[in-house]
Structure 1
């Protein structure tokens, strides 16, 4: 194989190569449906935790709801928190009791 034909084959092969995506594929985030109605929420901590320490802090009162974030009354300040970090609070008065059939 001579140098000219090798260069032509290499050029044609490189033309058919598609560039790799520079953006990682987006991952879907689970958003609780009850988050739209819950008056209080828990906020996920992403810091290092000691054993048996909760992954969430709160509950905090929701002041305003937007499509991608909620404004929360967190320690006397209004913080906007992404809905990816929020978890709805379930109060004891809203418990649902299920009767299981005896086997």
Structure 2
């Protein structure tokens, strides 16, 4: 089974089973980690904000304008910030490591 690694807000690592074609937000939420994803993956909120590990940043598709606009409304945005609803898991992302952004992001 493919997987991603999510570091929660307390610094604990979670290895989560991941399915091809699923949004990273869906994977995190389905494993009952504290991520909201209020818009359900429509890129119309910023409640699925994560930080992508530096080793993975170049492997992900670039942010689209719509994602950048939503991140403008998020709290604690960094260069490695992404909306996890905009990252689709594929085998190329096996072992992807992300960090949950602070609450209110």
Q: Which has the higher strand share?
A: 1
TM-score, with structure 1 as normaliser: 0.22
Structure having greater relative contact order (Cα 8 Å, sep ≥ 6): 2
The structure with more radius of gyration: 1
